[in-house]
Amino acid sequence: MTDILDIAREKALENGEGLNKDELVQILNIEDERLPELLDLAHQVRIKHCGVDVSLEGIISLKTGGCPEDCHFCSQSGLFESPVRAVTLDINELVEAAKQSEKMGASEFCIVAAVKGPTQQLLDQVAEAVTAIQEEVDISISASLGILTRDQARQLAKMGVSRYNHNFETAESFFPAW
Ligand code: SF4
């Protein structure tokens, strides 16, 4: 059987092709001691097919801490002892942060909030912030506000949010349920 990294080298690096589902599963299950080899290959694929340039993104927390969810690993949950205090920024602070990001060379500015998903009130605040930023700063805007409904995703797109980020995190004991 051909080694999975040899397959990945030929398809992704040499031919610029994607791997199929079975091959990707093999890559995900690769032995820990082969990770440096895998990372080196991933780096070569990036350099060859995407070049050396990177995009910078500025990030600001619109709402930090005080989340009502009980994710035990997260310092932003309000249910456990944590040095993270609940803080909410106002629109001017967001515009200033976006300006700073642009000055530092960022092409994108991401608005994040410690929530399971946004309320309409939070989405309204984001809409106001996006409008204010777009009036003063030449930067793409992205967001990370937890789990969205389709309608909320559409609302964000309509306001001019061009990219959405969502981390998937849970305790290892829940992995088989995903
Ligand atoms: S929902 Fe997100 S922000 Fe809230 S406690 Fe869980 S991981 Fe943290």
What is the per-residue pLDDT across 39-89, written as a single tens digit (0 to 9) for each? 999 999 999 999 999 999 999 988 888 888 888 878 888 888 877 777 778
pTM: 0.75
Residue in 130, 167, 160, 128 with CA at minimum distance from that of residue 145: 167
Instruction: Report the pLDDT value the prediction gives residue 175, as an integer from 0 to 100.
Output: 79
Q: Indicate if ligand 1 lies below 6 Å from the C-beta of 74.
A: yes
Q: How far apart are CA 154 and CA 148, in angstroms?
A: 10
Look at ligand 1, atom 6, and give the residue with the nearest C-alpha. Answer: 71
Q: Indicate if ligand 1 lies below 6 Å from the C-beta of 116.
A: yes
How would you classify residue 142: left for phi > 0, otherwise alpha for psi between -120 and 50, otherwise beta?
beta
Longest CA span, the chain: 60
User: Is residue 156 classed as helix, strand or coil in its secondary structure?
Assistant: helix
Atom of ligand 1 nearest to the CA of 116: 1
Average pLDDT of every residue of the chain:
92
Residue in 65, 77, 138, 153 with CA at minimum distance from that of residue 106: 138
Look at ligand 1, atom 3, and give the residue with the nearest C-alpha. Answer: 114
H helix runs in 29-174, sequence order: 35-50, 91-103, 120-136, 150-159
Beta bridge pairs of residue 67: 77
Q: What is the pLDDT of residues 105-156, one digit of tens each?
A: 999 999 999 999 999 999 999 999 999 999 999 999 999 999 999 999 999 9
Q: Indicate if ligand 1 lies below 6 Å from the C-beta of 64.
A: no
Separation of 71 CA from ligand 1 center, angstroms? 6
Both tokens assigned to 3? 């080694």
Instruction: Report the pLDDT value the prediction gives residue 70, as an integer from 0 to 100.
Output: 85
Atom of ligand 1 nearest to the CA of 76: 8
Q: What is the pLDDT of residues 14-43, one digit of tens each?
A: 999 999 999 999 999 999 999 999 999 999
Candidate from 62, 64, 73, 77 with most ligand 1 atoms within 8 A of CB, to mutate: 77
